[in-house]
Amino acid sequence: MPKVADPQRAAETEATIVEAAKNILAENGLEALSMRAVGARVGLSATALYNYFENKQALVDRVVARGFRRFESYLWSAVEGIPTGRLERVRALGAAYIRFAMENEQYFKIMFTIQPEDPREIEELPGQGGRRIFRDSVADAIAAGEIRGADPDLVALYLWSSVHGLATLSLACDFTGECLCGDHEWAKDGLTVEGLYDLFGDFLADGLKPRDTGRIDGAGKRRTDGKRNGRDAEHRDGTG
Amino acid sequence: MPKVADPQRAAETEATIVEAAKNILAENGLEALSMRAVGARVGLSATALYNYFENKQALVDRVVARGFRRFESYLWSAVEGIPTGRLERVRALGAAYIRFAMENEQYFKIMFTIQPEDPREIEELPGQGGRRIFRDSVADAIAAGEIRGADPDLVALYLWSSVHGLATLSLACDFTGECLCGDHEWAKDGLTVEGLYDLFGDFLADGLKPRDTGRIDGAGKRRTDGKRNGRDAEHRDGTG
DNA sequence: ACTGTTAGCTTAACGACGTTATCTTAACTG
DNA sequence: CAGTTAAGATAACGTCGTTAAGCTAACAGT
């Protein structure tokens, strides 16, 4: 008797439920996202939702998947007007990444916090969509000579993680004015995360500039610190 | 009648409880961290814990605070043998950051996920400790001329967020082998996060190299993309 | 037209959670 | 030895995710 018969109707109801769940999440945060609350929002009892989703995790997975689709289209629409191959396009991509995280805080948090128990149920691994856009833009910029001739996948992952770090950190810390208590030149008229990213973009861009010493593709797996193996702290968390 | 009388004994018991909580967290994850479980682990009932902590959040805050102290000393011990002023020291700091995140996964997650409801109860904002070490090492490297003459706070925050992004992302995605399905030169013999960081370190270092065009301190708050205001997507998450 | 099936829901209930109020026990004090 | 009290246990409330059982309305077959 569980499960729904008409797949058409099922899909519609599921979409309604996912929509309600994401609204509760955006408005009141993760702890407010209960099955009973979602049910009440769509005019059903909590248990009725189990006709459409196996459990709460499955519902949350769907919300996350929706979030990633929105995320991807958000990134796309942010750079579609900028010609491919330009470094500017890559920088705008990073700016859009930050902006999405700030505008969709709760959403962004669960996207990279909750991991689906069955990864195949989500169309793509978290961030795959966003990463692909990064990769393509980077590859174009490399081909156009605006970024040094390194592996696009590597460079894209680098940019992605850098931008992701800024987004994540600013959601966790709100360091705009608290962590950085000193009065700095670059923070005096209201430090925003977007402003920070603008500044960081210079470091990022300089690190990826073409250089004459030829391409680096990491073939040599260079060690920079002499003792990379040997776990120099043995911090294995015994009791401590 | 609540609260404990002898502050000496109270401090000891609190430490025991925090310790038990962090063990449960490390062994079984956040969802296993319940007051009843912590109480059972220290031989008390769940409600007895309320004599030492106002609520669960306060206990978790203490666990997080402990984590940050461990984190800070972990970073310190990882670079104490490397002479100050060397860029190598900054790179080793980043490597230690990554390593801590990998070795203390659950710990690291809550450190940057849970935000205390009363920030003052935690000795320092999340990451302040780690950031300070970054800042000092960067400042030394700048003074020694191994990093370009920019604001140490800005550069430290940049490095911090870059490394944090790599750590966070790899905890969320496990892209070592899944997200990056293509067979790359740099991924062929087992891609580890530490290996990735080694590769990224080159980009990072190049972006921070001294350059002859003088210092950049961001006074001009440069805009790189022509249209930074104007919210080019209007993605305000209405419904659909 | 009456009966049986069944899709899709509701209600009841279970165990676990955080938390509060009340009760017990054991040590100390006069 | 009586009384106080510190520090715990027990009971209980409301909420959570989830399961089992019961209801209701639409539909099928003869």
CATH code for the domain of B175: 1.10.357.10
Q: Are residues A35 and A148 in the same domain?
A: no
Alpha-carbon distance A40 to nearest alpha carbon in chain B (angstroms): 17
Alpha-carbon distance A1 to nearest alpha carbon in chain B (angstroms): 31
The answer to the question of residue A58 being in a domain is no
Q: Are residues B113 and B154 in the same domain?
A: yes
ipTM above 0.90, yes or no: no
Q: Which nucleotide is nearest to A44 (CA to C1')?
A: C9
The answer to the question of residue A130 being in a domain is yes
What's the domain range around A29?
1-53
Confidence bin at B210 (pLDDT 50/70/90): confident
Closest CA to A205 of A86, A91, A118: A91
Q: Are residues A10 and A118 in the same domain?
A: no
Q: Are residues A135 and A17 in the same domain?
A: no
The answer to the question of residue A109 being in a domain is yes
Q: Are residues B44 and B23 in the same domain?
A: yes
Phi/psi of residue B68, each to 5°?
A: -70, -35
The separation between CA B27 and the C-alpha centre of its own chain, rounded to angstroms, equals 20
Q: Are residues B203 and B89 in the same domain?
A: yes
Is the pLDDT assigned to residue B22 strictly greater than 60? yes
Q: What is the pLDDT of residue B230?
A: 32
The answer to the question of residue A60 being in a domain is no
- Asked if B211 is an interface residue toward chain A (Cβ–Cβ < 8 A), one would say yes
Q: Are residues B144 and B181 in the same domain?
A: yes
Asked if B38 contacts B17 with a C-beta cutoff of 8 angstroms, the reply is yes
The answer to the question of residue A137 being in a domain is yes
Q: Are residues B140 and B201 in the same domain?
A: yes
CATH of the domain at B7: 1.10.10
Distance from C-alpha of A196 to C-alpha of A176, rounded to nearest angstrom: 9
Asked if A75 contacts A132 with a C-beta cutoff of 8 angstroms, the reply is no
Average pLDDT over residues B149-177: 87
The answer to the question of residue A218 being in a domain is no
CA angle B164, B189, A231 (to 5 degrees): 50
A contacts of B205 (beta carbons < 8 Å): 207
Buried b (16+ CB within 10 A) or exposed e, B91-118: bbbbbbbbbbbebbebbbbbbbbbebee
Is the pLDDT assigned to residue B208 strictly greater than 90? no
A contacts of B108 (beta carbons < 8 Å): none
CB contact under 8 A, B186 and A125: no
The answer to the question of residue B219 being in a domain is no
Q: What is the pLDDT of residue A168?
A: 92
- For B33 and C5, how far is CA from C1' in angstroms? 47
Asked if A87 contacts A205 with a C-beta cutoff of 8 angstroms, the reply is yes
Confidence bin at B116 (pLDDT 50/70/90): low
Q: What is the pLDDT of residue A236?
A: 41
Q: Are residues B136 and B167 in the same domain?
A: yes
Q: Are residues B196 and B123 in the same domain?
A: yes
Domain end (from B30, B53, B76): B53
Q: What is the pLDDT of residue A124?
A: 58
The answer to the question of residue A30 being in a domain is yes
Number of domains in chain B: 2
Q: Are residues A25 and A111 in the same domain?
A: no
Residue ranges of chain A with pLDDT lower than 70?
1-2, 116-127, 175-183, 188-189, 211-240
B contacts of A115 (beta carbons < 8 Å): 172
Note the helical H segments in A84-127. Answer: 87-103, 105-111
Q: Which nucleotide is nearest to B31 (CA to C1')?
A: C17
- For B32 and D22, how far is CA from C1' in angstroms? 35
